[in-house]
Amino acid sequence: MARSANARTGTEAGTEPVPQRLLAVATRLFAEQGFEATSVQQIVDAAGVTKGAMYHYFGSKDDLLYEIYARVLRDQQARLESAADSDSPVKERLHAAASDVVATTTANLEDTIIFFRSMHLLHADKQAEVRAERRRYHERVRGLIEEGQKTGVFRTDKSADLVVDFFFGAVHHLGTWFREDGKLTGQEVGEHFADLLLDSLRP
């Protein structure tokens, strides 16, 4: 019976590109039964592809877990660069960046929760890659704060590093309380977070 359901899943998703299909299935299975308990065979059966097809795109189950979060990070980084490089005043650029990272995190909350729940199971090199990408993002936000501090727009008695750690600590905590059916949408939470960040930086 289970194999029949898996076959239907593969057929229904047959029009979706194989990498996206594999990622969608892996995300669902990792959420339902955990990373360690999910086998490659279960993933390919549910996606309706062969192991050979999977290994054409992903070298291992680790690569699937990594990509679940890395694709979110890549999108967030691109959106951050767009906001940070605009001609708007630094206050507006930082507000846009802060609001967006919350909105995109809540929009991809399952991916984020799954990844952080299982990140310690990744090979050390993959963990290092993720940390490097997150550090790159944080440093770009820190650069906006430092720009505002140098130009007198933001207070200077708090280090930019501390502000970044404080803000992203709250962002990374979203998975413990945010709900799609809650009182606030992800975008609304993002606006509130950004307002709080800018208020904390007011001279």
> What is residue 2's predicted lDDT score, i.e. its pLDDT?
34
* CATH number for the domain that contains residue 51: 1.10.10.60
Q: Per the domain annotation, does 153 fall within a domain? A: yes
> Model confidence over 139-166: pLDDT tens digits?
999 999 999 999 999 999 999 999 999 9
User: 72 and 48 in one domain?
Assistant: no
Closest CA relative to residue 6, chosen from 52, 50, 45, 49: 45
> What is residue 11's predicted lDDT score, i.e. its pLDDT?
39
Query: Of 27, 57, 87, at which residue does a domain stop?
Result: 57
For 195, half-sphere exposure in the C-beta direction (CA atoms, 13 angstrom radius) is: 6
Task: With beta carbons less than 8 A apart as the criterion, state whether 61 and 121 touch.
Answer: no
User: 127 and 75 in one domain?
Assistant: yes
User: 127 and 93 in one domain?
Assistant: yes
- What is the spatial distance between Cα 149 and Cα 99, in angstroms, rounded to a whole number? 20
18-33 helix and 109-118 helix, angle to the nearest 10 degrees: 60
pLDDT bracket for residue 117 (50, 70, 90): confident
> What is residue 14's predicted lDDT score, i.e. its pLDDT?
53
Percent of the chain exceeding pLDDT 90 equals 76
> Model confidence over 16-47: pLDDT tens digits?
899 999 999 999 999 888 899 999 999 999 99
Q: Is the pLDDT of residue 4 over 90?
A: no
* CATH number for the domain that contains residue 104: 1.10.357.10
CA–CA distance from 31 to each of 7, 17, 65, 114 (Å)? Answer: 20, 21, 11, 6
pTM, rounded to two decimals: 0.82
Q: Is the pLDDT of residue 110 over 50?
A: yes
User: 161 and 145 in one domain?
Assistant: yes
Q: Per the domain annotation, does 71 fall within a domain? A: yes
Q: Per the domain annotation, does 188 fall within a domain? A: yes
Q: Per the domain annotation, does 22 fall within a domain? A: yes
Q: What is the Cα Rg of the chain in Å?
A: 20
Task: With beta carbons less than 8 A apart as the criterion, state whether 100 and 91 touch.
Answer: no
User: 186 and 162 in one domain?
Assistant: yes
User: Which helix (H) or strand (E) element contains residue 131?
Assistant: helix 124-150
pLDDT bracket for residue 13 (50, 70, 90): very low
Residue at token pair 């050979």: 52
- What is the spatial distance between Cα 78 and Cα 128, in angstroms, rounded to a whole number? 20
Question: Tell me, what DSSP letter sits at residue 183?
Answer: S
User: 134 and 43 in one domain?
Assistant: no
Residue range of the domain that includes 26: 18-57
Domain count, the chain: 2
Q: Per the domain annotation, does 124 fall within a domain? A: yes
> Can you say how many angstroms the Cα of residue 156 is from the centroid of all Cα atoms in its chain?
30
Task: With beta carbons less than 8 A apart as the criterion, state whether 47 and 21 touch.
Answer: yes
Q: Is the pLDDT of residue 5 over 60?
A: no
